[in-house]
């Protein structure tokens, strides 16, 4: 939440002017601090190795099935 040190109070973000100044005193206000939840979402999420394995297995399986489909179509002609 934006904080105006001059007025010694918090400001709701919509009341802060577009240039980041306080509507009451015109002083620049402290920008809103990033919450703990937003900091947590910025952390890189490690991709689980078993999901990579699953994706690789699915790719191999789908490629195999696609090849089977090609063979099936070719053998019909
Ligand atoms: Zn102010």
Q: What is the tally of helices (H) and strands (E) in the chain?
A: 2, 2
**33 Cα: distance to centroid of ligand 1 (angstroms):** 17
Number of domains composing the chain: 2
- Provide the residue range defining the domain that includes 18: 1-44
Say what the pLDDT of residue 36 is.
Answer: 47
Domain match, 16 and 36 both: yes
How far apart are the CA of 48 and the centre of ligand 1, in A?
48
Q: How far is the CA of 6 from the centre of ligand 1 (A)?
A: 5
Statement: residue 71 has pLDDT above 90 = yes
* Integer Cα distance of 23 and 11 in angstroms: 9
Whether residue 9 sits in one domain with residue 30? yes
Q: What is the C-alpha to C-alpha distance for residues 64 and 71, in angstroms, rounded to an integer? A: 11
Q: Are residues 59 and 77 in the same domain?
A: yes
Q: What is the pLDDT of residues 5-59, one digit of tens each?
A: 899 999 888 899 989 899 999 999 987 665 545 555 556 777 788 899 999 999 9
pLDDT band at 77 (very low <50, low <70, confident <90, very high): confident
- pLDDT for 31 equals 79
pLDDT of 35 reads: 54
Residues near ion ligand 1 (CB < 5 Å) are: 4, 6-7, 22, 24-25
40 and 52 both lie in a single domain: no
Is residue 1 within 8 A of residue 12, CB to CB? The reply is yes
């Amino acid at each position: 939440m934006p904080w105006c040190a001059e007025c010694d109070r918090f400001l709701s973000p919509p009341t802060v002017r577009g240039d980041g100044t306080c509507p009451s005193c015109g002083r620049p206000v402290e920008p809103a601090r990033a919450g703990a939840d937003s900091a947590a979402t910025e952390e890189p999420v490690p991709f689980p190795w078993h999901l990579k394995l699953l994706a690789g297995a699915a790719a191999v399986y789908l490629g195999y099935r696609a090849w089977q489909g090609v063979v099936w179509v070719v053998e019909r002609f």
